[in-house]
Structure 1
Amino acid sequence: MKRTSTTVLTALVLAAALTACSSDDGTDAAPKKKPLPAPSTPSPAAVADTEATASGIPPEPDAAKKLGYLRALNNIDPDIVHGKEDKAVDRGRNQCQTIHNFPEDKPKQAGMAELRFTSPSHPGGFGKLKAAQIVEAVHTNLCPTF
């Protein structure tokens, strides 16, 4: 009889333990994990803005920005563009990186513009005054958020 009592008692204890472990209704049960939200895909414009902010080089300008930028350069001196619009845009985008990396250093920005913006007639650049104007045209038209 002692053996039967022990077996029944052990079975009851095990049953109680198993029931307690599998119960979700009790207050001791671990909370269920919520599924993670599906990752959202950023828009191409958001990706371009993030890359521009990180690298300092903005994305290719749209037609209106490009036109405004080229007009600004031609108003400074038509020889800055000298018929090579895409090259002028590339130089401007690279100048944006200088503006981004040295936001408070106007002499550095102008010095880099003087080195960067050259032409066959001006292989040494366009001088300090025009270089500062070029920086302003680049900043206003290509990378105003820097």
Structure 2
Amino acid sequence: MRTRTTTAAALTVLALALTACNSEEEPAAVDSRSRSAGISAEDKAKAREAAGLPPEPSATARYRFLEAWDAIDRRVSKPGTDEQAVSRGLNQCGSINASPDDRDKLVRQTLERFTITTRLPEISTPETDGKILDAVHTYLCPDF
């Protein structure tokens, strides 16, 4: 299921990027940020929905997720990786959306996605991982 969701997301983003292109040739020096600026917020939201992901979280939701993340265990959060944690959380939302009733599977995916088993094996327990999963679900995708 994860492969199909990832493939569908990649194809959706590619299709959106192609439709955002115009027939004029872009200068070679244009970076990817400039090219992606042509995709509307509405198109991005549609792509996220098609990929089974929630809308981009508000600043408040992001802050509360990161606050909950730190409260679980200060060691899970590395300096300068807040965006990575939110991104991984949003990806976990896709897994929650795909298997909402299989908590054991979701907890295992959380372990893998957030690399807790390899980085912090001493705190890699179903209890800790369940707390991370709950923080993701509560703050990043409460409607899933």
Greater relative contact order (Cα < 8 A, sep 6+): 2
Match of 1:130 among 128, 131, 144: 128
- Indicate whether 1:114 and 2:132 are aligned: no
Report the aligned-residue RMSD: 2.4
Residue 75 of structure 2 corresponds to 79
Is the alpha carbon distance of 1:64 and 1:45 closer, same or farther for their aligned partners in structure 2, counting shifts above 3 Å? Answer: farther
1:118–1:125: 8 Å Cα contact kept in structure 2?
no
Residue 141 of structure 2 corresponds to 143
Q: Relative to total residues, which structure has the larger helix share, 1 or 2?
A: 2
Contiguous gaps of at least 5 residues in structure 1: 1-42
TM score, norm. by length of structure 2: 0.62
Q: Secondary structure of 1:79's match?
A: helix
- Indicate whether 1:92 and 2:89 are aligned: yes
Cα distance in 1, alignment partners of residues 99 and 123 from structure 2:
20
Is the alpha carbon distance of 1:113 and 1:78 closer, same or farther for their aligned partners in structure 2, counting shifts above 3 Å? Answer: same
Identity, in percent, stands at 36
Look up the equivalent residue of 1:108 and give its one-letter code.
K
Is the alpha carbon distance of 1:101 and 1:118 closer, same or farther for their aligned partners in structure 2, counting shifts above 3 Å? Answer: same
Is the alpha carbon distance of 1:82 and 1:131 closer, same or farther for their aligned partners in structure 2, counting shifts above 3 Å? Answer: same
Contiguous gaps of at least 5 residues in structure 2: 1-39
2:52–2:94: 8 Å Cα contact kept in structure 1?
yes
